[in-house]
Each structure stands twice: as structure tokens, then as C-alpha cells.
Structure 1
Amino acid sequence: MSAFTGTARLVRLAIRRDRIQLPLWIAGTAVFVPIVVASVRDRFPTEADRVEILRSATESPALLVLRTAPTGASEGAMIMFSLLTYVAVLAGLMSTLAVVRHTRQNEETGRSEMVGATVVGRHAGLTAALVVVAGANLVLGGLIALALIGYGQPAAGSIGAGAGIAAVGIVFAGVAAVAAQITQSSRAANGIAAAVVGVAYVVRGLGDALGDRQPDGYTVVSAWPTWLSPIGWVTEMRQYEGDRWWVLVLPLVTFAASVGVAFALTVRRDVGMGMVPDRRGPARATPALLSPLGLAWRLQRGTLLGWTVAMVAYGAAVGSLSQTVQDALGENEGTADTIAKLAGGGNADLMDAFFAAMMAIYGAMAAGYVVQALMRPRSEEAGGPAEAVLATGTGRLTWLASHLAVAVGGAAVLLVAAGAATGLVDGLSSGGAGGKVLDMTGAALVQLPAALILAGFAVAVFGLLPRLAVGLAWAAFTVSLIVGQLGELLGLPQAVRDISPFTHVPAVPAASATALPLIALTAVAVALGAAGLALFRRRDLVL
């Protein structure tokens, strides 16, 4: 028996387990191609239109951080400028979640030990996970390439776009494979892998923002940090503007190296253990752990701490960019128009519109934390700890409501931290730090009701469809993020944009905070959460 014996059967098992989740991820990601193509053709039908908006973008570091460095004014290059980095992030998240689900989660729940008792090689499980995820990324890349070709884009650039997206997804699959060997829990592995995706996006954004604007005024050559990021590699392929195929060597080499490291670590640890074992807890529990709320806080505090650090760092970065953005807004009407659209339109002060756009991003980040935190009850249910807790005097509603309370409170903490960091850094550079901290903190907290909608939805699907809860909750977050945050820029109809709760949040500080939409969003969130609690109370535990 070799180390890979049984791989084919485990591949079939993994495909069966993911027969719903992976197709949803692939279809939900690929569907943005026709949306963006239609938006580009409607809003920028001529090269002159595209040159004008790209010249605006090259003068705004904040926009380059969010998008990427523009490489040309052709229709295909404009589509890549509008689409590429977001799809790369989605491909990365799809890959990391799937790899961890079929490796570390299987060990955590005992499935790997049961399967390993049969004729299965040591590397079969990890290999099967990588094969399935690599295949999913190839399908995604193929769909993207075919969609672009079908819309009349050059074949070489279209295939390059699909290949680049597939490659970046495969790279992050390798990252997740290593993370699954290091940690002893699936949550920690998912956290590490997702953090790497986030860092890759930020590093790419930093390299693009620091890039050199070319004499034509509408293209940028990225700085060296972009080459440190897998997401930067796919943008540096310059689809439709040179098609640098040799860049694909970087993700392929990185994937091979990470898989080699993962295989090496696999044979150096026991099944169910990680290279970094969990720390032993204190001999005696604190009084707080006698309550379900205290237990939920103990389980969630590490996740909240990580998100808080990230939000403070991002908020400080936004505050430090305020003067640069103000200069760009004062000099270029196109940049100002784009910022205003990110903030939801209107004729407000341009700096207020910029901060409103950033507050919307804070709201999306807080919603991401909420979804991650409220998937903890599902992992507890599937892994068995929930059964042990609920076998005591702890009621179902109390147990789930405790996790919900920690998630909601954590979202508020994140928004306060990000808003205060933005106001403090901006105030230190321009004066009036105290007032700006209060203003930015209040503006950030306005985003809380939209995040609560995602919390309510996560609880509702957990109560109704527990096996699909993770996929549906993250799908709802992705749709809300793309439609709500970028719907105006993509030219989506208002009826489509209204699907996202972020669309209904007042664009503070660019607009006044009105109570009605905030109350309505909160009421919907409460109704969804209550429905989820009631459904969970009436169903059996599901592994």
C-alpha cells in the first residue's frame, strides 16, 4: 500500500459531500462576469470614456487599493480593472474553506480516523481534497474564460483571465493545506488561511497604490509589493494588454512548494493533532464559564481579537490616506464622481463621501466577522461539543442566543474600533482629533443594522438547513457585499441593489442618519434571528 492508496475513492466522496456547496461557489462567482461586462459596455462604451475614468482612478490611491492598477483602456482591460481582484478573493476563499473542510475538519470530527482504519494511504485524504479543489478552480476559470470569449473578448486574454483566477485559487488551496497541518482545529485553520487571503489583497493594494503612473495618464506600473501577493500575480498577467503568461509560473511553483510542505508535515504528526498543539487551559475554570454566555465568549474571543486588530489597522490606514484623497478629489472631477458613487451617490462634501464609502467597507468587514462567529454553533453541533453542553441544564435557546449575543456585541466593538482609529489618525494629521473620533465612531456604528441582517440570516439558515448553513451564510454575505458596495459602480438596477442590506444604510457622514431605515433593518434582523432560534429549538441535532 502506498501513501496515496484510496485517493480516487476519497475524491468521489469529497465531490459527493460538496455537490451543492462547490457548484454554488462556482456559479455565484462566475455570474459576476456578465454583470461587469454589461456594466462596462453601458457606462464606458468608447475608449475615450474608459480613458477618462482610468485617469481619475490613477490619481486616487484609495481606488487603486480597492481595485487594481489599470493596464490599458481596451474593453477587456477595463473589465479586468473592474472585476479581477474581487473574483480572485472569492476563488481564494472558496479554496481555503473547501480544503480545510476535507482535511482538518474531518480529523476534528473523527471522520479521518474512521476512514484511516480502512485501506487508505497517509496522503490520500489531503491529496483528494487538493484534487477536488483544483478541479473546482479549473471549472471556475474555464467558465470565466468562456463567458469572456462569448462576450466578444479576445481569446488569449480571456483564457489568461480564467487561468489566472484558477491559479490564484489553487495557490490558496496549498496555503490552506499547510494551515490544516499546523493547527488542531478547523476554525483556526480557516482563520489562518482567510488571513493570508486578506493580507494578499492588502499587499497587492499597497503595491498598486504605490505604483508609477505612466505618461499616458491612465495606466500604472505596480510597485514591488504587488509581486509578493498571489492576487497581485494574476493582475500582473496584464490580460488583454500583453498577456504575460510566464507569470503563471509563480503560483504553480508556490502551490507545489506548499503542497510539499503539507505532505512533509502530515507524516510528522498524529491524526487529529496539529504541529502546534492546543494550549492546556487552567486547572480551574473561571466563574464566567459557568454560564453559556461565558462559554461562548471564551470560544469566540480569539476570533474577535484577530478581527479587531485587522479593523484598527485598516481604519488607521484610511485615516492616514485622508489628505492624499482630499488632494486627488480637489484636482479631478472623475475621481470625485467615483468616490461619490461608492458612497451611494449624492452631492455631499467630497471628503464626507470618501469617509462614507470607507464606513460601508467597515460594515462589510463587521458582517464578515458576524457570519464567521455564527458558524461556530454549526461546527460545535457537527463536532459533538454542543451535544455535551445541551445534555446539561443549558437550554437550546440559551446556548444559541449566547453565541448570537457575542457575535452582535463583537460587531459593535469592531465598528467602534475602526471608526475611532480612522478619526484619531485623521485628526492627528489635520487637527481636532477628539471631535473626529466621535464623528467617525458614530458613522461606523450606523453600519451595525446591516451587519445584524447577516447575523439574523445566519441564525435562520442554521435553524432551518444546518448542513447548508455555512455555504448559504457566506453566499448571502458575498452577494450583499458585491451588490451593496459596488452596485452603483457596476450600474446594477436599483431593484437588484435593494437585495443588499448595505444599500439601505444612510451614507453617514455624507448624509444624515435617519432612524427609519435603521429601525427597519434592525426589525428584520430580529425577526430572522427569532425565527432561527425557534427553528433550532424544534429540530434534532444534525451531524
Structure 2
Amino acid sequence: MNGFTGTLRLTRLAVRRDRVKLLVWAVAVPGVGAAVMQSVANIYATEQDRLLYAGSSAASVVARAFNGPASGPSLGAVVNAESYTSLALLAALLSTFAVTRHTRQNEETGRAELLGSAVVGRYAPLTAALLSTVAANLLSGLLLAAVLIAGDLPVAGSVALAAAIAGIGISFAAVAAVAAQVSGTARGANGVAAASVGLAFLLRAAGDAWGEVTADGLRVTSAWPSWLSPFGWANQVRPYDADRWWVLGVTAAFTVTVVGVAFLLTTRRDLGSGLLAVRRGPATAPTTLLGPVGLAWRLQRGVLLGWAVGVAVMGLAMGSVGNELESFVGENQAAADLIAQLGGTDRLVDAFLGAMMGMFALAVAGYATQAVLRLRGEEAAGTLEGVLATAVSRPRWLLSHLCCAALGTVGLLALGGAATGLGYGLVADDVPGQLGRLTVAGLVQVPAALVLAGLAVVLFGLFPRWSVALSWSALLLCVLLGQLGALLELPQAVLNVSPFTHLPAVPADDPAATALVALLLVAVALLGAGLAAFRRRDLVVG
């Protein structure tokens, strides 16, 4: 027996446990790439359109910060710019969650101790988690390359882009492996890994924002902060332009080094504990923890705070782009038509702001889903049994978490609208007016997000073991329909599956009370169905 004994069996177990998640992962990444490629090909069909796009992207600090450095006017370069951020963040976050789930979460739930009693080496669980995550990244990368090549994009550039995205996922899997050794809880490990993703994105954004535009005005040379981030390294591959393969070696060297650190740290701690000791709580608990609402708030507040910071920063950034929109779109009528279609009006700035509110709604629906799925986390960990052994009833416990999730959803959407209004108001010299109307625009999105939360409650009540995968799959479907349905010209009947399709186009149009009330009624009905199902089933631990 050695330190890696049992690795292959544990890898098979990890793949079996995550088979649904891995399938969604493998389809989502190439699916987003294919949709963006088709929409870009339709919008920027001519060389003149792509020249205008490249020139506007290179000149705009905001565009460089969010989309990365411009790399020329080719169709592939535009596809790379439009899809890179979504694909990179998707790969990074999925990888960190997967590694944490099969390492720190297994220790927290006691699975690792049970497995360790068999013939399993010290390094086997971590190695299995990394192997399954690397395999998922490679599979999604291969499918992404195949989709791009099938769309008549250059083979070398397509493979370079797919390899860069897979490299991001693999490098952050290594970061998550270290986080799992440092933190004593799965939530803490996910927090450290997510913070690393955020820091890496900010470094890349700063490096590209400070970069220099080349003499032809169509490319950007990134500043040094980009070279401190895995997101920046992937950009520096320059798919469909320079195709600098050697930069992938930087990603590989980083990954090998960080994985080595993770294996070293594995031998420096006891099973179930992290290198950083879990902080002791206060000697006496506050009175708010005497009830289920106070406990639910205590469990949910950290996640809500993290989302609030992200929403506020994104809102300020999006709002500040308003005055640059006309010059960014330039003379590309197709791009203007697309923004108008997404935002519901032919007034370009209002259409853009409306589209941003729709994006906030989808993002905050992710928070609502995460907050509701905390119910399943408490049940699976076994802590729910102790709570229900007291005088707390099932409906009271469930409603306490849902109150926190609903209030958090309302607060985040109000904050997103207010931050966007503040950002746009500052550049348009109309802070009071824009702040008020965009806060209302954010609140209009609440009913659709609550429908997704209600669906998660139903799935938790009916299919507890599948509720996590099915809830996130439903959100992913809404994202694809909302962001890409109009671009792909899907039938209206298909688009109507998403609750976000039924929201009025605010701030361009007045809120439609009928649609909002209907969505709220659907959310309440789903909540009632989920509560009834939960009351009639047994608890499912693990």
C-alpha cells in the first residue's frame, strides 16, 4: 500500500456521484461557445463591422476590463472577446466547487473517515478529486474546440481557445485543492477559492484596462497585472491572433506547483481539520439564535454579504458604461438592434440598462437558488434532525430559511438597480433621477427570481437527492433562454418556459402589474407544493 492506493476506485466514485453535474458541465461550456459564435457571425458579418468592433473594444477601458484585450478584427477574435469572460468564470467556479465537494465536504460529512478505514492511501482522495475535475475540463475543452471548428473558425485558434479555458479550470482546481487543506469547513474552502477567482479576475481586468493600444488601434498590449492571474495567462494565448502556445506552459507550471503544495499540506494536518483552526464561537449565544429565523439568518448572512459586494461592484461598472454605449456600438446597426431586442426598446441606452437589469435578475436568481438549497445542505449533513428534535416544526424551519432567501433576493435586486443608477447617474449628471428609476427596475425583476426559488423548494420536497443538480440545471436553462434565445431566434413558446421572459422591459416601459402578480402567484404556488411535499417525506441524510 502506498499514498495513492485506491485512487482509481475513488475517481470512479467521484464521477458516478457527479454524473449529472458533469453532463451539464460538458454541455454548458461548448453550448455557450456555440451560441456566442452564431450570434457574432450574424451581428458582425462583414469586415467593416468587425473593424469597428475591434477599434471600439481597444479604445474602451470598460470593454477591456470586462472582455479582455482586443486581438484584431477577425471573426474568431470577436468570438473570443464576447465569450471569454463567461467561459472562463464558468470553468473556474465549476472546478473549485467540484474539488471542494470531493475533499473538504467529504471530510466534513464523515465520508472520508469511512473511506479511510478501507485500503485507501493518504493522497488518494485528493488525487481522485483532481483527476475527475481535470477530466471534466478536458472533455468540455474538446467539445468546445469541436464546436468552434465546426463553425468554420480556424483550427489552431479554436484549439488554443479551448485549451486556454480548460487551463483556467484546471489551475483553479489546484487552487481549490490548497483551499481544502487550509480551511476546516467546506464553506470556508469554497469561500477561499471563490475569493481567489475574484482576485484573479480583478488582476486581469486591471492589467487589460491599463494596457496600451497598438498603433493600428485594433489590439491591446496588456499591462503587468494580467501576468499575475490565470485569467490573464489565458488571454495572453491570443487565440485567433498570435496563438502563443508557450503561454499554456505558464498555466501548466502554476498548476503543478500548486498541486504539489496541496499534497504537501495534506501530510501536515489531521483528517477532518484544516491548517487554520476553526474559530471558537462566543461563550454565550445571542438571543436571536433561540429561534429558527435567527439561526437561518446566521447561516445565510455570509453568502448574502458576498453577493451584495459583487452586485454593487458590477452595478456601478455597468452603469458607468452608459455614456460610452453610442461610441462602443459605433455604426453597427446589427449590434444596436441586438441590444434593443434584449432590452425591449429602440432607445439604445434604456435598452442597454434594461438588458443589464435582466442579467442582474438571472444572477440574483443564482443567489436565491443557492440560499434555498441550503435546506438540502442542512438535511444532508444531519444537522436538521437535531433542529426538528426540538419544538421547531418542519414548516417553521423551512419558512425561516425561505424568508431569508426572499428578503435577500429583494435586497440584492434593489442594490443592483441602485448601484447601476448611481453609476449611470454620475456619468449622466442625474443621480437622483437615475437612482430612483433603476432601483424600481431592479425590484421589478424580483417575481421571476422568486419563481426559480419556488422551483428549488418543490425539487427539495419531491426529489431531495436530485434537488441540487435539477435546481441549477433549471437556472442554467433560463440563462441560456434569456441570453441566447433572442439571438438564436427560438420560438416564443420555448422562450416562455423561462419566467424572465414575462418580465416587462423596465426602465424603457412601465411595469406590467398583471405579469408581476402572475409570477408572484406562481412562486407562492410552488412554495406551497414544496412545503406540502417536504412534510410528507422522510429525511434523507447524505
Same fold (TM over 0.5): yes
Per-residue Cα deviation, 1:311-363 (whole angstroms, up to 9, x for no partner): 2233333344444x267369656597178347424222x33333323323322
Per-residue Cα deviation, 1:464-510 (whole angstroms, up to 9, x for no partner): 22222222222222332243135445655545444433333223222
> What is the rounded CA distance, in whole Å, between the counterparts of 1:527 and 1:278 in structure 2?
41
Cα displacement (A) at 1:268: 2.0
Moved more, 210-219 or 462-471: 210-219
The secondary structure found in structure 2 opposite 1:31 is helix
Contact 2:320-2:426 within 8 A present in 1 as well: no
Q: Which residue of 2 aligns with 1:103?
A: 103
Q: Residues 379 and 315 (structure 1 numbering): CA distance in 2 closer, same or farther, change over 3 Å?
A: same
Amino acid at match of 1:246: W
Q: Which residue of 1 aligns with 2:253?
A: 253
The secondary structure found in structure 1 opposite 2:457 is helix
Contact 1:316-1:421 within 8 A present in 2 as well: yes
Contact 1:485-1:503 within 8 A present in 2 as well: no
Contact 1:211-1:223 within 8 A present in 2 as well: yes
Q: Which residue of 1 aligns with 2:269?
A: 269
Query: Is 1:458 aligned with 2:447?
Result: no
Moved more, 165-174 or 69-78: 69-78
Query: Is 1:147 aligned with 2:151?
Result: no
Q: Which residue of 2 aligns with 1:474?
A: 472
Cα displacement (A) at 1:81: 2.6
> What is the rounded CA distance, in whole Å, between the counterparts of 1:63 and 1:370 in structure 2?
29
Moved more, 428-437 or 13-22: 428-437
Q: Which residue of 2 aligns with 1:388?
A: 386
The secondary structure found in structure 2 opposite 1:282 is coil
Contact 1:149-1:155 within 8 A present in 2 as well: yes
Q: Residues 345 and 215 (structure 1 numbering): CA distance in 2 closer, same or farther, change over 3 Å?
A: farther
Which structure 2 residues correspond to residues 396-411 of structure 1 after superposition, within 5 A? 396-411=394-409
Q: Which residue of 2 aligns with 1:534?
A: 532
Amino acid at match of 1:477: L
Which structure 2 residues correspond to residues 21-100 of structure 1 after superposition, within 5 A? 21-100=21-100
Contact 1:296-1:402 within 8 A present in 2 as well: yes
Contact 2:43-2:334 within 8 A present in 1 as well: no
The secondary structure found in structure 1 opposite 2:19 is coil
Q: Residues 213 and 521 (structure 1 numbering): CA distance in 2 closer, same or farther, change over 3 Å?
A: farther
- RMSD, aligned CA: 2.7
Cα displacement (A) at 1:133: 0.6
Q: Residues 322 and 42 (structure 1 numbering): CA distance in 2 closer, same or farther, change over 3 Å?
A: closer
Contact 1:60-1:335 within 8 A present in 2 as well: no
Amino acid at match of 2:327: A
Per-residue Cα deviation, 1:45-68 (whole angstroms, up to 9, x for no partner): 433343344444445544444434
Amino acid at match of 1:228: L
Q: Which residue of 2 aligns with 1:357?
A: 355
Unaligned runs of 5+ in 1: none
Q: Which residue of 1 aligns with 2:504?
A: 506
Contact 2:340-2:352 within 8 A present in 1 as well: no
Q: Which residue of 2 aligns with 1:241?
A: 241
TM-score, reference length from structure 1: 0.91
> What is the rounded CA distance, in whole Å, between the counterparts of 1:313 and 1:40 in structure 2?
27
Identical pairs, percent: 50
Q: Which residue of 2 aligns with 1:166?
A: 166
Contact 1:344-1:488 within 8 A present in 2 as well: no
Per-residue Cα deviation, 1:165-210 (whole angstroms, up to 9, x for no partner): 2111101111211221222222232233234334434543444444
Moved more, 5-14 or 107-116: 5-14
Which structure 2 residues correspond to residues 115-514 of structure 1 after superposition, within 5 A? 115-323=115-323, 325=324, 328=327, 337=336, 340-341=339-340, 343-348=342-347, 350-427=348-425, 431-489=429-487, 494-514=492-512
Contact 2:502-2:515 within 8 A present in 1 as well: yes
Contact 2:226-2:233 within 8 A present in 1 as well: yes
TM-score, reference length from structure 2: 0.91
Moved more, 69-78 or 10-19: 69-78
Contact 1:341-1:488 within 8 A present in 2 as well: no
Unaligned runs of 5+ in 2: none
Amino acid at match of 2:148: L
The secondary structure found in structure 1 opposite 2:510 is coil
The secondary structure found in structure 2 opposite 1:23 is helix
Contact 2:343-2:350 within 8 A present in 1 as well: no
Q: Residues 490 and 194 (structure 1 numbering): CA distance in 2 closer, same or farther, change over 3 Å?
A: farther
Contact 2:343-2:353 within 8 A present in 1 as well: no
Q: Residues 410 and 90 (structure 1 numbering): CA distance in 2 closer, same or farther, change over 3 Å?
A: same
> What is the rounded CA distance, in whole Å, between the counterparts of 2:78 and 2:493 in structure 1?
25
